[in-house]
Amino acid sequence: MTTGVNTPARRAAFARLLKGTAAAGVLTMAASLYAPAALAQTAPPPPSDPQTDGASLLDEVVVTAQKKNRAEEVQSIPIAITAVNAAQLDALNVVTLRDLGSIAPNVALEPNGSAKGVANFTIRGIGANSSIASVEPTVGTFINGIYQGVNGGVVLDAFDLDGVEILRGPQGTLFGRNVTGGAVLLRTGRPTAEWQGAMRASVETGPQYTVAATVGGPVIGDYVLAKLTAYHKDDRGWFHNDATNSQFGEERTTFVRPTIVIDPHNGLRQTFIYDHLTTTGDGVPTRNINANRKFQLTLNNPGFTDVKSDAFTSETTLDVPFGNGVITNLFGYRALDQKTGTDLDSTANTISHSLATVYQSQYSNELRYAGTFFDRWDLTVGLYYFEQDIRTFDRRDLGPPLAPLGRFTTGGGHIDQSSYAAFTQSDIRLTDSLTATLGLRYSHETKSAQVALTSAAAPCDFFAETCNFNTAGALTGERDWHALTPKIGLRWQVQPGVMIFGSYSEGVRSGGYNLRRSNPIDPGVYDQERQKTYELGLKSGWLDRTLRINLTGFYNDIGNMQRDSNTQGPTGPVQILFNAVDAEIYGAEGEFIYAPTRALQLNANFGYTHGEYTDVRLDLNGNGVINEADYALKIPRLSPWTYNVGATYTGDVAGGQLSAHVDYGYRSGSFGNEANSTIFVPYRNLNANLTWDAPGGIWSASLYGRNLGDHEQNGASVPVVTNVAYYYTIQKGRQLGIELNAKF
């Protein structure tokens, strides 16, 4: 049997889907014209309202993390969350999601080392330790409420974001599966009732040039609002490749995002968002372990990156008198086309070069109601459906050294999955100071797969993008999984501005199939990972709220933990996915902000995480036995310590306002694989920026620096074939830049 990618059935299904969505939108808008006047309420703003505009980290940020009928101040909700609004993102000079990793404790929003744009996000030591497209994340990424089904294409540039919310700990009740570590929620900019616009231009070390603009406002009275955002980055390459005596690291990223909001002022609000993204350029920068100097590249193959993504979101909210509630329907579609090439041996010879292609398409729909009854009971209840198709093809060039074993190996496969869920969560105010939280979600998931065994027998034609699943070692299967994920919590408002909370919650990480199956002993299928978490925290404001102290302690009990055993085979690394271990992870974290004067603000955070295996069912270190040595191994990507310290000073200069910000982030080293034979070096990052806002606030200029210590960030040594073919994936060193902004 031969399988391609863009089948007629798939095209027809998508066409029906778009027609159905369009028809639903027309019917919804028609109904709004006849909605009863009783629906036009003076209710609290729905969860889609934008965040506050304050740039100070002490300014209250409103969030939608609990999916209620109103947005809530972040300090008032009983979960461990770090949230920043648009003005704070600008003040911190956040350019990518990775820049946010150090402002939240126990968080690493790092890219994967094998392909650009692929995330390996980790929170509280829980992260996906693989580049295989079928491996489900442990930290879910949600853009405008839409879950991103694969890790590819989610390491985004942060322009025109209304806000970012980083939720730590399992969010299984409201957000579903694959959020055992936590969730990252991004909300893009919305048009306002007045015309507004912004432009940005920057140049930095590389050189790298960036231009971006956004403009929006009313187009039909104040009933129809529209916004258009465009962004382009041209990175000429920060690195130098000694093998070719040329710059390396070229990357061109462009996205265009139109947004339309229809508000007939009768309780109905409809938002449409389309997002088109392209990224092209070189492959991932890799440094061989035997290179003599920092940042030295010796790549005879620069590789390549070619990513295209299209996403469509439809958000419909309707105010209803029942419980002063809001009905929300959230529909999303996304298609990802990702092609990458990487010099895995990172030498001037051809020892191991890879080509990989990933096609992914998904659509989802969430329908929920949120309301308040008797002024004491907040209720959220909803239904969710998700469908996804993933197809992958990979090819390795093993070069003359391994030619007798078969120079080229190929593999590939596809997975079709569907899932549905029903969920509810309630906050019940038992007294004026005591509130209980009860939540429950039921999820069901089905996956069917066909996977060809990656080998020199060429079961797949990489360039024709077809596979023969009747060859030796091929896997065909279908599995169902289901889960109940409860949450129980208690919040005590000790006094205004001081809250203590505790909770018990559960989360699941989806089971699945290994789409990079290169060993016949690999069963190819693995079960769900289950997690139980206990959490106790404090949120507080002191000294007339010029001092904020938030503290959280947590304990995770993880069963059937999915591990990616990356061992050395005769033709390169062999990745086998197993439910290999049970583990416990516990720790603490804190966030502190203090403003001793109106001009000076100090901020700091810390995180401590400890993890250990409680049951081991796989020989993790490859010594042939399961013994104390396996139990003593450290969990991959778990950094015991993280911290960040920063300061911001603002003063009047030359009729305008001058702001200076500096921060230093640290994350201790961790291991890159189950055998602990590869490492991630400690993350040390010193950033600074100086911004002058001209009188009138129309334009501003900034000087900034990133990684001023010039450290090789996030280096992970990975074995390819022999000791001469170990490589590090590295990030840019010191970057200096200037940026101009204009607002109107």
Q: For the segment 206-246, what is each residue's pLDDT rounded down to a tens digit?
A: 999 999 999 999 999 999 999 999 999 999 999 999 999 99
> At residue 109, does pLDDT exceed 70?
yes
The pLDDT value given to residue 153: 74
Range of the structural domain that residue 8 is part of: 2-743
Pairing mode of beta strands 139-143, 182-188: parallel
pLDDT (tens digit per residue) in 413-432: 999 999 999 999 999 999 99
CA distances from 735 to 211, 238, 280, 396, 689 (A): 17, 9, 21, 34, 12
**∠ at Cα 396 (391, 400), nearest 5°?**
170
pLDDT (tens digit per residue) in 139-163: 999 999 999 998 777 766 778 999 9
Q: How far apart are CA 317 and CA 49, in angstroms?
A: 11
> At residue 27, does pLDDT exceed 60?
no
Q: Which strands sit side by side in the sheet containing 460-461, from one edge to the other?
A: 2-3, 466-468, 460-461
> Alpha-carbon dihedral of residues 455, 461, 463, 466, nearest 10 degrees?
-120
Segment 382-402 mean pLDDT? 88
CA distances from 188 to 159, 193, 232, 235, 253 (A): 8, 17, 17, 24, 17
CA distances from 156 to 153, 278, 342, 459 (A): 7, 11, 21, 35
How does 613-648 read in b/e, with b if 16+ C-beta sit within 10 Å? beebbbbbbeeeeeeeebeebbbbbbbbbbbbbbbb
The pLDDT value given to residue 567: 58
Of 6-10, 113-117, 391-395, 465-469, minimum mean pLDDT range: 6-10
Amino acid identity for residue 568 in this structure: Q
Domain count, the chain: 1
Burial class (CB within 10 angstroms; exposed 0-12, middle 13-18, buried 19+) of 364: buried
> At residue 476, does pLDDT exceed 90?
yes
279 strand-pairing partners: 253, 307
3-state DSSP assignment of residue 103: helix
Residue 93 DSSP one-character state: T
pLDDT (tens digit per residue) in 310-336: 999 999 999 999 999 999 999 999 999
Query: Do residues 217 and 194 touch, judged by C-beta distance below 8 A?
Result: yes
How many helices and strands in the chain, by DSSP H and E?
Answer: 4, 44
Which one has a higher pLDDT value, 47 or 185? 185
3-state DSSP assignment of residue 341: strand
CATH number at residue 267: 2.40.170.20
pLDDT (tens digit per residue) in 659-683: 999 999 999 999 888 888 878 889 9
Of 345-354, 491-500, 567-576, 695-704, minimum mean pLDDT range: 567-576
Sign of CA dihedral 18, 20, 23, 28: negative
Sign of CA dihedral 15, 18, 21, 26: negative
Beta strands in 510-546 (DSSP E): 512-513, 525-526, 529-542
Q: What is Dmax (Cα atoms) for the chain?
A: 79
> At residue 177, does pLDDT exceed 70?
yes
Six-digit token string for 110: 């790092």
Q: How far apart are CA 528 and CA 515, in angstroms?
A: 16
Instruction: Please give the backbone phi and psi of residue 171, each rounded to the nearest 5 degrees, phi first.
Output: -120, 45
233 strand-pairing partners: 210, 253
Query: Do residues 370 and 378 touch, judged by C-beta distance below 8 A?
Result: yes
Instruction: Please give the backbone phi and psi of residue 527, each rounded to the nearest 5 degrees, phi first.
Output: -95, 175
Segment 68-92 mean pLDDT? 91
The pLDDT value given to residue 718: 57
The pLDDT value given to residue 31: 36
> At residue 568, does pLDDT exceed 80?
no
Burial class (CB within 10 angstroms; exposed 0-12, middle 13-18, buried 19+) of 1: exposed
Six-digit token string for 598: 């109106």
The pLDDT value given to residue 716: 54
Residue 92 DSSP one-character state: T
Residue with tokens 């939240």: 104
Q: How far apart are CA 511 and CA 518, in angstroms?
A: 19
**∠ at Cα 145 (142, 151), nearest 5°?**
20
213 strand-pairing partners: 199, 230
* 727 confidence band (pLDDT: 50, 70, 90): confident
Residue with tokens 């040595």: 629
The pLDDT value given to residue 10: 44
Question: Which ranges in 169-324 belong to alpha helices (H)?
Answer: 172-175
